[in-house]
Amino acid sequence: MYCDNKGALSAAFGWKHPNPRWASYDLVSLIRYHLSQSPIKWKAQHIRGHQDRHTKYENLDIIAQGNVDADRYAAIEMEANRSVDQRVIIGEPWELRQNGKRIVGDIEKRIRNTIHEREMKEYWRKKFSITAEQQDQVHWEVFKKVNRMNEDWVQTWMAKYNSRIGGVRKNMHRRKHATDDKCPCCEEREDTDHLLQCKNKDIQEVYDEKLREIKEWMEKHTSEEMIKGVEAVIEAFRNGTDLNLEGCHDNMVKAAARQQFELGQRAFVGGWWSRRWSTLQNIYYREQGKKNKASIWVARLISQIQDMIRNMWFERNSQLHNKEQSQHNERMNQNLNTRITKIYERLNKATPTKRVLNDDERYYFSRNENEIKRRRIRSKHRWVKEAEDIIEILEIKLKRNNSITNYLTYAAKEYG
């Protein structure tokens, strides 16, 4: 048996027993049954597909010609769009149906999704802050496609983003892991929506670069009017302004863009897009004579927009943790330098000669103020925190004993 699909050959002739979780469980089970019942001993043989792309059909061997013919007949059959024969085939496994459609594979997952899909829709509807009426405008299958095409870590990141539980400063401040809820890059209040709206110059560069890549991709796969409509929605959410469709002249695209804008930024980034985008892309494909699936195009576009958001987030984190010269770290550096100056002022006021300090404390303050200020931010931050604790304890002790003599007696008893 010749086939240009190695996976199909492995499923039909491999050692693994057919599993209901497999995508084509019904077909594989049927093939396995008839192979076992056949008086002929079959052997699997892989053949390279589409050889006619590089070699004339007449120059191919009979096996390669058969493979080309099979592809051609399959295309003709798909074009015919015949109704499926409902007669039972001998050896066919038991079947399940959902909404009148047969479940042909990955049965466990399909059953689980059927049971919980309504709950999932309601959960995301609330997270995206849209009404039940607006939910009917959303292409749910596109949302599922976006999540399926992403890697596991991306799915996890997007789940946190869409659930609004990521590590933005608003959440970190609420959890008491940050001193305020200000964006580390622009000093605006940082919630999840702010990631797309941050005006930091380095983040703006990331946004511009990614948007350029998205537009270049769209230019290859859709109409100019669709590009204008999608870009108008992105820019409106980015700048926090009303939707500007002056450059767009297609009324259907305008209607799709307005409906998407009304669904809100959270639904836009999260993947809840209007069905109208798929309808418009279908029209474009028909005009171009293509048979591509519009829902896949929309899902890929959403995935690229989400990738842009993640890259803006990565730049934000890089500025916060890695770049000494970022706007955030420059502000932090100024703040730390001010605190260092105050520490040395308090130290000189409490003990001008440093005689009341023990050996460890004297060593800790052995470097002068300018040397400490030249340190890197992380080292400087640790030093400031520990130094402020030492000074505070020193001031309490001096105040409690009310004289240097008493403090020296106290220190001698404590440190020996």
pLDDT at 118: 87
Residues 209 and 248 in one domain: yes
pLDDT at 313: 95
Residues 159 and 236 in one domain: yes
Calculate the CA 283 to chain-centre distance: 29
Residues 313 and 343 in one domain: no
**Residue at a domain's end among 270, 287, 321:** 321
pLDDT at 258: 96
pLDDT value at 295 more than 90: yes
pLDDT value at 46 more than 90: yes
Residues 354 and 217 in one domain: no
Asked whether residue 120 is assigned to any structural domain, the reply reads: no
**Residue at a domain's end among 96, 126, 150:** 96
Asked whether residue 146 is assigned to any structural domain, the reply reads: yes
163 or 110: which leads in pLDDT: 163
- Determine the Cα–Cα distance for residues 76 and 59; give it in Å rounded to an integer: 23
pLDDT at 412: 65
Asked whether residue 113 is assigned to any structural domain, the reply reads: no
Asked whether residue 116 is assigned to any structural domain, the reply reads: no
pLDDT value at 249 more than 90: yes
Total domains present in the chain: 3
pLDDT at 405: 58
111 or 170: which leads in pLDDT: 170
221 or 356: which leads in pLDDT: 221
Host domain of residue 379: 327-415
pLDDT at 93: 75
Residues 331 and 198 in one domain: no
pLDDT value at 250 more than 70: yes
Instruction: Identify which of 139, 145, 140, 96 has the alpha carbon closest to the alpha carbon of residue 118.
Output: 140
Q: What is the mean pLDDT of residues 173-178?
A: 90
Residues 47 and 139 in one domain: no
Q: What is the mean pLDDT of residues 256-284?
A: 96
Q: What is the mean pLDDT of residues 39-63?
A: 92
Q: Is 97 helix (H, G, I), strand (E, B) or coil?
A: strand
Residues 6+ apart with CB under 8 A from 369: 340, 341, 344
Q: What is the mean pLDDT of residues 51-74?
A: 91
pLDDT value at 416 more than 90: no
- Determine the Cα–Cα distance for residues 81 and 77; give it in Å rounded to an integer: 7
- Determine the Cα–Cα distance for residues 135 and 133; give it in Å rounded to an integer: 5
pLDDT value at 62 more than 60: yes
Q: What is the mean pLDDT of residues 111-119?
A: 83
b/e per residue, 23-50, with b = 16+ CB within 10 A? Answer: ebbbbbbbbbbebeeeeeeeeeeeeeee
* 152-163 and 294-321 helices, crossing angle to 10°: 80
Longest CA–CA span in the chain (Å) reads 109
Residues 205 and 271 in one domain: yes
Asked whether residue 106 is assigned to any structural domain, the reply reads: no
Residues 6+ apart with CB under 8 A from 400: none
Residues 139 and 280 in one domain: yes
Residues 256 and 304 in one domain: yes
Residue range 298-339, pLDDT digits in tens: 999 999 999 999 999 999 988 877 765 666 677 778 888 898
Q: Which pTM was predicted? A: 0.66
Q: What is the mean pLDDT of residues 162-182?
A: 92
pLDDT at 91: 80
Asked whether residue 128 is assigned to any structural domain, the reply reads: no
320 or 40: which leads in pLDDT: 40
Highest mean pLDDT among 88-97, 355-364, 382-391: 382-391
pLDDT at 38: 92
Residues 79 and 198 in one domain: no
Q: What is the mean pLDDT of residues 363-371?
A: 85
Asked whether residue 109 is assigned to any structural domain, the reply reads: no
Q: What is the mean pLDDT of residues 116-140?
A: 92
Confidence of residue 23 (pLDDT cuts 50, 70, 90): confident
In the chain, % of residues over pLDDT 70: 93
Residues 196 and 271 in one domain: yes
Token look-up 């970022």 returns 326
Asked whether residue 7 is assigned to any structural domain, the reply reads: yes
**Residue at a domain's end among 96, 117, 149:** 96
Residues 351 and 297 in one domain: no
Confidence of residue 263 (pLDDT cuts 50, 70, 90): very high
Q: What is the mean pLDDT of residues 162-186?
A: 91
